[in-house]
A and B are shown apart, each in its own frame.
Chain A
Amino acid sequence: MRYIPHTDDEIRDMLAAVGQPGIGALFETIPEKLRWTGPLEVPAALGELEVERLLEGLARSNEHAAATPWFLGAGTYAHFIPSAIDALVSRAELTTSYTPYQAEISQGTLQTIFEWQTMICALTGMEVANASMYDGASATAEAALMAMRITRKSRIAVAAGVHPHTRQVLATYLGGLDVEIETLPVGEDGRCQIPALRDDTACLILQQPSFLGTLEDLGEAAAAARAAGALLVTTVGEALSLALLRPPGDWGADIVCGEAQSFGVPMSFGGPHLGFLTTRSKFMRQMPGRLVGQTQDGAGQRGFVLTLSTREQHIRRERATSNICTNQGLCLTMATIYLALMGRSGLREVALQNLAKAEYAKARVRESAALELAHEGPTFNEFTVRVPDDGAAALARAREAGLVGGLDLAAHHPELGPAVLVCITELARREEIDRLVQALGGNAS
């Protein structure tokens, strides 16, 4: 076995050193009736070449964004990924290390996390960020739990414009607790209708931009939350939007969380992605997850360590702020490299290209006799299109035209009628957008 170095001679000598007659003797502490003696029912071993062929075969049968113009987003986005990212994260020092418990030999990971914390705060307009959550959905659930700890209240108001899967995960996480989840409906304009919130509300959760692509009124949301003594939680599905939209922190959000897969992390069939969670300094000690802080060594040189760990499960056990341990470290590293490469002007330009291309697509939709924009308000790179027959049929036409056309909204938002959620990123070329609009409209266009 190529991953195991032991020779027969070594095994014999090592057994002699531990005073055991054979390998089997090492397992004698296992009661006999619990010992498994048969072969495991897993497929027989393959050589490296065979494994390669097997998985290449499995990979080949999946549609993917390198082979097909791609207009499907809905929480997972096809963006350009510079080659420098994979070259760097393929370095074994980044890939094959673990949680930086031993700071003196983990400064690479620690400084990277500190840089991420700084950059995601700049993007969200917040003051502190943690070292990642599993994904945007669990980050949102953890934000709700955090709001409950801070306010000592247990009602959650969540906009129906939050990604349906995020709302499902929220319900799962809160399922065992004594919590009321209230869903606020989407109005005709595709935005959350924010009512006066009840006084027992811990937080109001909005997604910006919403699942349907519209922009929520965060000012109104912040005011409604304040009036009820609740926190405003803003969750972000498309992190690139932060480059062009007024930061949630500026609107008065108390917790800004979400999904940062758009920053250089491949779609990977939905994971691993990059959940993030940011908040105000005053709530720092209620945060879940790991935090990296600056300090110095014995000689006064700057260095970084994991800090405020008395919040965490390995110290606080059942009184911890969360049970999270392993997070999405390498995805955080990818995103940090992405943001460093893009920089202040590059990220803005990518976001502007997304906006411009989406606006171009919306203009084509407006011209189409068969299609209609479901909402006329501003959007970023994603919007909802009403189609003439049904969403699945429209997407099938797009697929026939060699395009992955978007998400059928029938399951999630049947009230919209036949509709498709379309995402236009910097990858989309003008001619492909034209073809998409043509295909979605079908013969009628």
Chain B
Amino acid sequence: MRNATRGLAYEEALLFEQSQPGRRGVDLPALDVPEVDAAALLGQAFREEPAELPELSEVDVIRHFTRLSTWNAAVDLGLYPLGSCTMKYNPKINERLARLPGFALAHPHSPAAQVQGLLQLIYELEASLAAISGLDRVSLQPAAGAQGELAGIMMIRAYHESRGEPRHKVMIPDSAHGTNPASAALNGYDVVSVPSGSDGLLHPEAVEAAMNGDVAALMITNPNTLGLFETHIGRVCEIVHAGGGLVYGDGANLNALLGHSRPGDMGIDVMHFNLHKTFSTPHGGGGPGAGPVGVKEILAPFLPVPLVARDADGQYHWDEERPQTIGRLHGNHGNVGMLVRAYAYIRSLGPEGLRRCTEMAVLNANYLLSRLRGAFHVPFEGSVMHECVLSDRLLAETGVTTLDVAKRLIDHGYHPPTIYFPLVVAGALMIEPTESESRESLDRFADTLLDIVRETHEDPQAVMAAPQRTRLSRLDETRAARRPVLRWQPDPKE
């Protein structure tokens, strides 16, 4: 059976183009206090004209966003093999539980005694993440992986400064996610790029050559963005530690390790977790995520405040008295709604279930690779972990590129893999199936990709014209960047 077929797509104008003066989507109760003269009360600060928001009924609004939603690909519609993003199934029970009023309508400034359930949840989630990673303490405050990275780099800076030896450089392998160098630079570090070897791995010699007394840390992703386990990680960490540096672990690929290997045991001193990847919280069209940051004991004094502590009598409270902290990173306590979902997920799976996730994620990636090897170039051979990277090199003579293959996948009802990343592979297709996919689902996807390769040789123009079955054909990104139109404005002619 095919994965997708023809369908009817709805058209839908912008909200502003549908606005009718006098319509409204909400009725408020009558005011039960005297009306006031806002202009008189607020004086110069008063806004004379209401903001130009569209005017629509509830029905209009429901139809608008329902129609828009039908234009999106989503995990619940099918395989979404976006590499490094871990688009696994998002359990529905977690959604329901995060909406319980005791979580969703609780306030961050309520006294600790009035929110013991939430503090307990945070406390226990911290313990679980520490156990999974082999680290000692975890702050759940960072709102996303990149903010967790920033926190980690700040703690590394604080650590070196506390020892009276500020350092200025951070080493990052060339296969790293873009957030790594951006996070280091955001906190004032110079970035030193370390080349990975011809086998796609980071080699101790390369680290040794770049390591010196001015290097504060190495940032490393394991498994790396090629889906390969960094087999030299132990030695690499030793070299960095011997030079007085620390090792930051990018936890984006933690779904490859649950119950099989712990970053803390590898020598990693600090890492972030992406709860929206490994721990099943939904990606929401771009967020919110959650990016807790975990550390070894030596970095614990520098963690963001506040943390949750438990008294001898079993009461939970906020621990703010941490004099060496880097400070507060979030206006409140982080994306708690996502913490609730991740907690429910970990409680649902338990130790065996988590381990099973990783096993099936790794099996799925290797199975897909076995089905696609030969049709696509595999830049780095070997057993992969949770994702695999292919390239378009074998298609070169047809003129078809990775972008075309990605767009053709859309015609078959698939969200494309991550493309042109990692940068160390020209024309990369980075595929992460996750454990959520069955064998039939993987076979269907592999068959589709093999069909596209066949088509590439028989009718390359058809592939280059993709997508053809979507409501819109390929969109002109150059035009968007050259003459940016970033908001709707009324047509002056009307």
> Are A1's CB and B50's CB within 8 A?
no
Chain A residues with Cβ under 8 A from B134's Cβ?
Answer: 36
Looking at the complex, which of B58-66, B240-248, B292-300, B451-459 is the stretch in contact with chain A? Answer: B58-66
> Are A340's CB and B64's CB within 8 A?
yes
Give which listed residue, A34, A97, A138, contacts B330 with CB less than 8 A: A138
Query: Which of A45, A296, A323 has the largest number of chain B CB atoms within 10 A?
Result: A323
Known pairs A63-B107, A108-B72 / 8 extra A-B pairs, C-beta < 8 Å:
A40-B131, A52-B93, A58-B117, A61-B102, A105-B415, A166-B331, A333-B284, A345-B55
The verdict on A74 contacting B109 (CB below 8 Å), with A59-B117, A62-B115, A245-B47 known, is yes
In angstroms, how far is the closest chain A Cβ from the Cβ of B270? 15
Looking at the complex, which of A122-130, A225-233, A365-373 is the stretch in contact with chain B? Answer: A122-130
Chain A residues with Cβ under 8 A from B209's Cβ?
Answer: none
Give which listed residue, A107, A175, A320, A347, contacts B178 with CB less than 8 A: A320
> Are A323's CB and B286's CB within 8 A?
no
Chain A residues with Cβ under 8 A from B41's Cβ?
Answer: 355, 359, 378
Interface size on A, residues (CB 8 A): 198
Interface residues of B in 310-353 (CB under 8 A from A): 326-338, 340, 343-344, 346-353
The verdict on A26 contacting B366 (CB below 8 Å), with A35-B260, A63-B114, A246-B46 known, is yes
> Are B383's CB and A378's CB within 8 A?
no
Interface membership of B474, Cβ < 8 A:
yes
Interface residues of A in 305-328 (CB under 8 A from B): 305, 307-308, 310, 312-320, 322-328
The 8 A CB mask of A103-130 against B (1 = contact, 0 = none) is 1111111011011011101110001110
- In the assembled complex, 16 residue pairs joining A and B whose CB atoms fall closer than 8 Å, in A order, are A19-B370, A88-B62, A122-B52, A168-B328, A172-B326, A267-B107, A269-B106, A272-B143, A273-B331, A291-B484, A294-B485, A313-B178, A316-B182, A323-B183, A327-B144, A433-B33
Interface residues of B in 354-411 (CB under 8 A from A): 354-357, 359-360, 362-364, 366-367, 369-371, 382-383, 385, 406-407, 410
Name which residue of chain A comes closest to B358, CB basis: A27
When chains A and B are docked, how far (Å) is the Cα of A322 from the Cα of B320? 28
Looking at the complex, which of A5-13, A195-203, A436-444 is the stretch in contact with chain B? Answer: A5-13
The verdict on A29 contacting B359 (CB below 8 Å), with A122-B51, A322-B182 known, is no
Name which residue of chain B comes closest to A343, CB basis: B55
> Are B44's CB and A219's CB within 8 A?
yes
When chains A and B are docked, how far (Å) is the Cα of A14 from the Cα of B488? 51
> Are A3's CB and B144's CB within 8 A?
no
Chain B residues with Cβ under 8 A from A178's Cβ?
Answer: 188
Interface residues of A in 168-186 (CB under 8 A from B): 168-169, 171-173, 175-178
Interface residues of A in 78-98 (CB under 8 A from B): 78, 80, 82, 84, 86-88, 90-98
The 6 closest A-B pairs by CB, nearest first: A270-B332, A45-B350, A59-B102, A270-B108, A329-B286, A330-B284
The 8 A CB mask of A221-257 against B (1 = contact, 0 = none) is 0000000000000000000001111110000000000
In angstroms, how far is the closest chain A Cβ from the Cβ of B80? 7
Chain B residues with Cβ under 8 A from A314's Cβ?
Answer: 177-179, 421
The 8 A CB mask of A327-366 against B (1 = contact, 0 = none) is 1111111000101111111111110110111011000000
When chains A and B are docked, how far (Å) is the Cα of A129 from the Cα of B179? 22
Give which listed residue, B62, B74, B344, contacts A87 with CB less than 8 A: B62
Interface residues of B in 167-191 (CB under 8 A from A): 177-179, 181-189, 191
Name which residue of chain B comes closest to A352, CB basis: B38
Chain A residues with Cβ under 8 A from B206's Cβ?
Answer: none
Interface membership of B427, Cβ < 8 A:
no
When chains A and B are docked, how far (Å) is the Cα of A59 from the Cα of B108? 14
Chain A residues with Cβ under 8 A from B360's Cβ?
Answer: 4, 6, 11
Interface membership of A429, Cβ < 8 A:
yes
Interface residues of B in 21-80 (CB under 8 A from A): 23-26, 28, 31-36, 38, 41-48, 50-56, 58, 61-62, 64-66, 68-77, 80
Interface membership of B285, Cβ < 8 A:
yes
Interface membership of B162, Cβ < 8 A:
no
When chains A and B are docked, how far (Å) is the Cα of A310 from the Cα of B482? 12
Interface membership of B164, Cβ < 8 A:
no
Chain A residues with Cβ under 8 A from B143's Cβ?
Answer: 134-135, 138, 271-272, 328
When chains A and B are docked, how far (Å) is the Cα of A292 from the Cα of B484? 9
> Are B258's CB and A40's CB within 8 A?
yes
> Are A5's CB and B437's CB within 8 A?
yes
> Are A39's CB and B327's CB within 8 A?
no
> Are B70's CB and A93's CB within 8 A?
yes
When chains A and B are docked, how far (Å) is the Cα of A296 from the Cα of B116? 52
Looking at chain B, what size class is its interface with the partner chain?
Answer: 35 or more
The 8 A CB mask of B426-443 against A (1 = contact, 0 = none) is 000000000111110100
> Are B285's CB and A20's CB within 8 A?
no
Interface membership of A266, Cβ < 8 A:
yes
> Are A17's CB and B47's CB within 8 A?
no
Interface membership of B5, Cβ < 8 A:
no
> Are A66's CB and B65's CB within 8 A?
no
> Are B340's CB and A55's CB within 8 A?
yes
In angstroms, how far is the closest chain A Cβ from the Cβ of B303? 12
Chain A residues with Cβ under 8 A from B120's Cβ?
Answer: 58
Interface membership of A414, Cβ < 8 A:
no
Chain B residues with Cβ under 8 A from A55's Cβ?
Answer: 97, 100, 103, 121, 340, 343-344, 347
Chain A residues with Cβ under 8 A from B202's Cβ?
Answer: none
The verdict on A172 contacting B260 (CB below 8 Å), with A269-B103, A320-B182 known, is no
> Are A169's CB and B410's CB within 8 A?
no
Interface membership of A407, Cβ < 8 A:
yes
> Are A329's CB and B287's CB within 8 A?
yes
When chains A and B are docked, how far (Å) is the Cα of A169 from the Cα of B128? 27
Name which residue of chain B comes closest to A103, CB basis: B475
> Are A98's CB and B80's CB within 8 A?
yes
> Are A111's CB and B68's CB within 8 A?
yes
> Are A272's CB and B337's CB within 8 A?
yes
Interface residues of A in 369-419 (CB under 8 A from B): 378, 404, 407
Name which residue of chain B comes closest to A209, CB basis: B45
> Are A4's CB and B115's CB within 8 A?
no
When chains A and B are docked, how far (Å) is the Cα of A319 from the Cα of B186? 9
When chains A and B are docked, how far (Å) is the Cα of A131 from the Cα of B107? 25
> Are B186's CB and A96's CB within 8 A?
no
Chain A residues with Cβ under 8 A from B285's Cβ?
Answer: 94-95, 97-100, 106, 108-109, 112, 329-330, 333
Name which residue of chain A comes closest to B23, CB basis: A343
In angstroms, how far is the closest chain B Cβ from the Cβ of A258? 10
> Are B476's CB and A297's CB within 8 A?
yes
Interface residues of A in 35-72 (CB under 8 A from B): 35-36, 39-46, 48, 51-52, 54-67, 70, 72
Chain A residues with Cβ under 8 A from B274's Cβ?
Answer: 326
When chains A and B are docked, how far (Å) is the Cα of A328 from the Cα of B335? 10
The verdict on A327 contacting B286 (CB below 8 Å), with A39-B352, A353-B28 known, is yes
